[in-house]
Structure 1
Amino acid sequence: MFTAVLSSLVTFGVVSVSANAIPPQERSVTKTLPTGWSFVGCKVDVGDRILVAANQVSSANTPQNCISFCSGKGYTMAGVEFAQECWCGSAYNPVAGTVQTASDSDSGQTCGGSSRIQVYQQSGSTTTTPGAPTATGRRGLAWPADNNFDPAIFKSSKVGFLYNWGHNNTPKNKDFPFYSMQWNGNGISTLEADARAAGATTILAFNEPDLGSQANMDPTTAANLYKQWISPLSAKGFKLATPAVTNGGAPTGITWLDSFLAACTGCTFDYIALHWYGGWIDDFTAFINSAKKYNKPIYLTEFGLAWDADAQASNYLEFLPLALSYLDSEPAVAKYAFFGAFHSGTGKDMINANGTLTDLGKLYVS
């Protein structure tokens, strides 16, 4: 619901699943790894990536090249995915939850395909494997570009990402993974470069294109831009979300999204993005349920009460616990962000004028 001017993760258990095959990389190369490095297993890599410290994409990528790239940056873990992707770290990303091991075989290539990553580690280093977390990290911060507060006040096990409706990270954000957004068609040619510079691995597409007051795009135009500029980023290591539509009636909302998906033939997307501004919890849950038909994890990147101007803090303190309880228990919802990470002098504020958390903000991080 924000203007351009202001700019399923389910907790994983340790299970074995089948890996996707991909021909270009053969696992026999693990016999000639750089000294001190070894293969530690095939892992599942969906949702938030399990190695996020650094990455590169190269058609000449091999385990050896990836290890050289990661070790050169001082990291002790390297991962090869989708043949051309190299991911680095010195520990698994805690936001990703418990890391799953995929079935693997040294007799041939059975790892390194889509959502499967070959992980290598330097001898003598210790792999940090997150246990089953008490928090899923589903909550995010919809952070206006003119918000000069420090996002660190929201640092908690509950909050796992930040976006600001633009390509570039909020300068003070040092604590949360940043998601780049392409607000409308303007400046889309720099999206990839800007997102990489910002360290983003997730791209959010157009902001409420179904509304004339927001991105204001017809489904066909949006699909053509998405197909040309955003969909190809999937093969370059990014996770992608559809345009974020509202809960309005036809031709907006889900109807608009249906038309977009029909026009975007061959497009890749990992998540369905939604915004909701409504009356109370019943129409909130009904809207989420309406998007389950796509069989994709849902990103609810904005939500609040439609009667916002009249809503008091007491109204939000009653509504938000209902919404959070539902969202945290709904497997279809991967991520969500309440629209209130600022100070505006209204009941939805999660930040006080002095930069501390309001009661609503304290509720969001608890």
Structure 2
Amino acid sequence: MIAAAKLIDLLPALALLGMALTGLENAPTALAVPQSREHHRHLAARLADNVAQQDKKRSAGAKRTLRRRSDGTICKAKNTASSTFTDVSSTASATASATASAADLQVAAVDTDSSSVADVSFTDSVSSTQAASSTASSNSAQSTDVTGSLATVSTGSTTKFGLAWPNGDWATSTSPDYVGNYVGTKTSWYYTWSPFSVGSADQLNVEFVPMYWGLKQQSDWWAQQSNWPSTVKNALFFNEPNQSGQCDISAGDAVQYWMNDYLPLRSSKGVRLGGAATTNAPSGLQWVQDFKTACVQYGNSEADCTSDFVPIHWYDVTIDGFKSYVESFHDGVGQNLWVTEYACQNFNGGAQCTDQEIWNLHTEMAAWFDQQDYVERYSPFGVMKDMQGVEQYNALMNPDGSITSLGAWYAANS
């Protein structure tokens, strides 16, 4: 009896214990700590989602997110040269030469020396506002009083000067880096190292020249053609195919992309086709010549293998050397030229150009280009906040986005 009574007293406790055990048995296994394999799978899925989202953003508005990088989508600064001629080129690409890495466009303001000479003034054709008299040494850090006046210019002219523009279409008309501030009476065209145009420049009737930078722009090249403005009359092929870190492709391998992706523009849209823009290393001219030879050897007609003009790049330190290079390249190809990147810059370890030498080279070469019938177009490097290793006094844009004295001179006088 005593044992039975004790058992009866324990029944409530046993019932509670049974309920607890039942709860543990039914506990959700999802509360278990995830194994590393599942954790990695989760991270991979999230990364894939992020990549897809970024790809949609790029496809929907890439012309607003232009960057100068080395991944093939936009040009970047390249390493130092190793040739008789300075083997460099810029960015976007960007394609600024030399030692700079593929960073976003940001740079500190450059100190100026107000003691230099070469005062230059100009009169804007719209507002007749005279820019501030400036020295060559201040042309990279001093903004001239032209913001807003140049922006009202609508150009359909056939002048040779154009903008190498890696800055996208972010800026509004009130911003110092608004493209309209760089469009003067002499600005007739622009390119972006890509197939993406700049809507604000198109609204000013500036001719857009699309570029098929390299293989990684292949899908964008096709996708953007329906978005091109009616101003498109010319196009540019691969960017520095003879240079490691840029397009970097052999002449023979480039033929298929010319025939399949590029040549159709000539027949379908009546667009004039520029060849590949090579550096001023000796391999540049050789690449252009090898390309045509390989193209014909592969069974294509000479007409299909021949560009309508040949773009070139040049970075070095003397005016005479620049003229000599342009003349010799013209003799080598026997075709009209576009000079789509150039600056007074030494990448061979020697002395850099002074601010005065930079000013003299730009102003004298622009006048010389205008006198050469076989030089159809030219665009100096560069209209950007960060010159990516190139001497800042070559800049047409200040680090704050405002136009430099050199930039204002080009827009109004070149």
TM-score category (smaller protein): 0.5 to 0.7
User: What is the Cα deviation at residue 312 of structure 1?
Assistant: 4.6
Rounded Cα–Cα distance in structure 2 between residues aligned with 1:196 and 1:271: 24
**Contact 1:182 1:188 (C-alpha < 8 Å) held by counterparts:** yes
User: What is the Cα deviation at residue 288 of structure 1?
Assistant: 1.1
Which of 143, 162, 167 is matched with 2:195 structurally?
167
User: What is the Cα deviation at residue 201 of structure 1?
Assistant: 3.0
Are the structure 2 counterparts of residues 316 and 5 from structure 1 closer, same or farther at C-alpha, using a change threshold of 3 Å? farther
Structure with the bigger RCO (C-alpha within 8 Å, sep 6+) is 2
User: What is the Cα deviation at residue 189 of structure 1?
Assistant: 4.7
1:269-316 deviations in Å (ceiling 9; x for gaps): 211111111221111111111232333221111111232794453332
1:100-146 deviations in Å (ceiling 9; x for gaps): xxxxxxxxxxxxxxxxxxxxxxxxxxxxxxxxxxxxx1001111146
1:309-337 deviations in Å (ceiling 9; x for gaps): 94453332121112112111111100010
Q: CA RMSD in A?
A: 2.4
Are the structure 2 counterparts of residues 189 and 146 from structure 1 closer, same or farther at C-alpha, using a change threshold of 3 Å? closer
Which of 272, 275, 284 is matched with 1:253 structurally?
284
Are the structure 2 counterparts of residues 351 and 154 from structure 1 closer, same or farther at C-alpha, using a change threshold of 3 Å? same
Which of 142, 146, 157 is matched with 1:95 structurally?
157
Rounded Cα–Cα distance in structure 1 between residues aligned with 2:403 and 2:217: 34
Is 1:349 aligned to 2:395, yes or no?
yes
Are the structure 2 counterparts of residues 189 and 268 from structure 1 closer, same or farther at C-alpha, using a change threshold of 3 Å? farther
Rounded Cα–Cα distance in structure 2 between residues aligned with 1:201 and 1:140: 14
Rounded Cα–Cα distance in structure 2 between residues aligned with 1:186 and 1:146: 19
Rounded Cα–Cα distance in structure 2 between residues aligned with 1:261 and 1:245: 14
Instruction: Say which SS state the counterpart of residue 247 (structure 2) adopts.
Output: coil
Which of 174, 178, 182 is matched with 1:154 structurally?
182
- Residue number in structure 2 paired with 1:335: 377
**Contact 1:234 1:268 (C-alpha < 8 Å) held by counterparts:** no
- Residue number in structure 2 paired with 1:305: 344
- Residue number in structure 2 paired with 1:18: none
The equivalences for 1:60-79 within 5 A come to none
Higher strand share: 1
User: What is the Cα deviation at residue 157 of structure 1?
Assistant: 2.3
Which of 262, 268, 273 is matched with 2:293 structurally?
262
The equivalences for 1:28-177 within 5 A come to 94-96=156-158, 137-145=159-167, 148=171, 149-173=177-201, 174-175=203-204, 176-177=206-207
User: What is the Cα deviation at residue 231 of structure 1?
Assistant: 1.5
The code of the aligned residue for 1:334 comes to E
TM-score (norm 2): 0.53
Which of 248, 253, 260 is matched with 1:228 structurally?
260
Are the structure 2 counterparts of residues 307 and 335 from structure 1 closer, same or farther at C-alpha, using a change threshold of 3 Å? same
- Residue number in structure 2 paired with 1:122: none
Are the structure 2 counterparts of residues 156 and 356 from structure 1 closer, same or farther at C-alpha, using a change threshold of 3 Å? same
Instruction: Say which SS state the counterpart of residue 341 (structure 2) adopts.
Output: strand
Unaligned runs of 5+ in 2: 1-67, 76-154, 172-176
User: What is the Cα deviation at residue 227 of structure 1?
Assistant: 1.7
- Residue number in structure 2 paired with 1:40: none
User: What is the Cα deviation at residue 210 of structure 1?
Assistant: 0.4
- Residue number in structure 2 paired with 1:219: 251
Are the structure 2 counterparts of residues 198 and 312 from structure 1 closer, same or farther at C-alpha, using a change threshold of 3 Å? farther
User: What is the Cα deviation at residue 224 of structure 1?
Assistant: 2.1
**Contact 1:313 1:347 (C-alpha < 8 Å) held by counterparts:** yes
Unaligned runs of 5+ in 1: 8-92, 97-136
User: What is the Cα deviation at residue 187 of structure 1?
Assistant: 3.4
1:34-62 deviations in Å (ceiling 9; x for gaps): xxxxxxxxxxxxxxxxxxxxxxxxxxxxx
Rounded Cα–Cα distance in structure 1 between residues aligned with 2:398 and 2:227: 31
Rounded Cα–Cα distance in structure 2 between residues aligned with 1:323 and 1:330: 10
Instruction: Say which SS state the counterpart of residue 181 (structure 1) adopts.
Output: coil
**Contact 1:231 1:268 (C-alpha < 8 Å) held by counterparts:** no
Rounded Cα–Cα distance in structure 2 between residues aligned with 1:6 and 1:227: 22
1:208-253 deviations in Å (ceiling 9; x for gaps): 000012110000011221122111221112111000011102xx11
Are the structure 2 counterparts of residues 2 and 247 from structure 1 closer, same or farther at C-alpha, using a change threshold of 3 Å? farther
Instruction: Say which SS state the counterpart of residue 303 (structure 1) adopts.
Output: strand
The code of the aligned residue for 2:241 comes to P
Instruction: Say which SS state the counterpart of residue 180 (structure 1) adopts.
Output: coil
Rounded Cα–Cα distance in structure 2 between residues aligned with 1:342 and 1:189: 26
- Residue number in structure 2 paired with 1:179: 209
- Residue number in structure 1 paired with 2:316: 278
Instruction: Say which SS state the counterpart of residue 172 (structure 1) adopts.
Output: helix
For the pair shown, which has the larger CA radius of gyration, 1 or 2? 2
